[in-house]
Structure 1
Amino acid sequence: MNFEKLLAGWRTKAEAKAYKTFEPTQEEKQTLAHTGGDVLRRLPPAAGACALMSAVFAARLQQSGLRHVYVAAGSLSVRGQLVFGDDLPFDGEKVFSESNSSWNGHAWIMFGPYVADISLFRTAYSQRSPTLLSTHVRQEFGEGRGLLMVRWADAPKSGLRYSPQYVLSDDQVAALTNGASAILG
């Protein structure tokens, strides 16, 4: 699905259009990397916390002044095989407006043409990781990684395909972030 069309569901047409042409500066990418490292240091390791981690990451990025930061949710494929999600439409408004442990998709940040995935490596290195993801991450990226930042169009070159199906609203990001406040202190 076209990310700009998904974005237009929650934002103005002008904001969706601005997003389409947005290219972050080197300084903005450094802010993203630094903020991601800070969030990873503060959140305890937990597999399967992609929506919570992405929401906290997005909120911190927005607090630092970055614009065009959105939490996307959908499916993640590794080497052409679905690992999280099923590429079928889902009611994102419902999924992210109530506690829902049965949702099996994946969440990440879209930052202009970049995917910033703060939970991928934590999940891959955990004992609860799907074998395909764990094996692929270790072969492709090695051990000890924290934040993946890659151009969305280039992700398939590393064997990953991010398929956005929903963009979280500001209220949904705030609710997830508030839920994490006890963890972050």
Structure 2
Amino acid sequence: MTRSELVQEVLYMAEDITQNFKPVDGSCLYMSAMLVAMMNDHLSVETRFVTGSLSVAESKIFAHQPIKPILSQKEGVIGKWDGHAWVEVDDLIIDLSLFRTVFSKVASPRIQSLFEARFERGTAYLVGQKHKLIEMGVEYTPLELLSDDDATIFIQNAGRMGLINS
């Protein structure tokens, strides 16, 4: 599969997930889990489902809090977690929920203006090469790798919570 074909497939999957996922800010774990599962089922590439931090113009937008210790507690996960998740393939960053959160009512005007200086407000999701994002002042720092089993937990919870449109 060529790089161009990979990007086309990722865009198709990203579009499918974003159209069928309720517009909820803070849904990065669920949307990333769905994407990594879809990619693993349909593409022969090595995906990474990660959590970490995100900085824009050297301002921390999302800090990192490990999710694994919370997952092992077997109780309400997301209300206790403050972090960010995305999918990586080679040097590609795929972030399906970023703009939902950044341009929601919960985000500060300062954060919104940092993103408006770099992206169009109507953008649905981010698919970009890591080095090009860094050149734009957008830096993803992966700090925790999640497993396929972790992704399954988030997908099942998204279904139970009614986040996926039927």
Which category describes the TM-score, using the shorter chain as reference length? 0.7 to 0.9
**Structure 2 unaligned residues grouped into runs of 5+:** none
Give the structure 1 partner of residue 113 of structure 2. 135
Aligned-partner Cα distance in 2 for 1:79–1:71? 24
Whose helix fraction is larger, Structure 1's or Structure 2's?
1
Instruction: Answer whether contact 1:47 1:129 (CA < 8 A) is retained.
Output: no
Corresponding residue for residue 49 of structure 2: 71
Give the whole-Å Cα distance in 1 for the aligned partners of 2:143 and 2:2.
23
Q: Which residue of 2 aligns with 1:82?
A: 60
Structure 1 stretch displaced more, 94-103 or 35-44? 94-103
**Percent of residue pairs identical:** 25
Partner residue, 2:146: 168
1:91, CA displacement in angstroms? Answer: 4.1
- For residues 146-180 of structure 1, the C-alpha deviation after alignment (integer angstroms, 9 at most, x for no partner) is 12111112212222111111011111001101112
* CA–CA distance in structure 1, aligned partners of residues 78 and 29 of structure 2: 11
Contact 2:48 2:145 in 1 (8 A): yes
**Stretches (4+) displaced over 4 A:** none
Relative to the length of structure 1, the TM-score reads: 0.79
Counterparts of 2:94 and 2:44, CA distance in 1: 13
- Once residues 5 and 39 of structure 2 are traced to their aligned partners in structure 1, the CA distance between those partners, rounded to angstroms, is 13
The number of residues matched between the two structures is 160
Q: Which residue of 1 aligns with 2:96?
A: 118
SS in 2 for 1:180: helix
What aligned pairs does 1:5-154 form with structure 2 within 5 A after superposition?
Answer: 25-86=3-64, 90-97=65-72, 98=74, 99-154=77-132
1:84-112 deviations in Å (ceiling 9; x for gaps): 115xxx54422344414232211111111
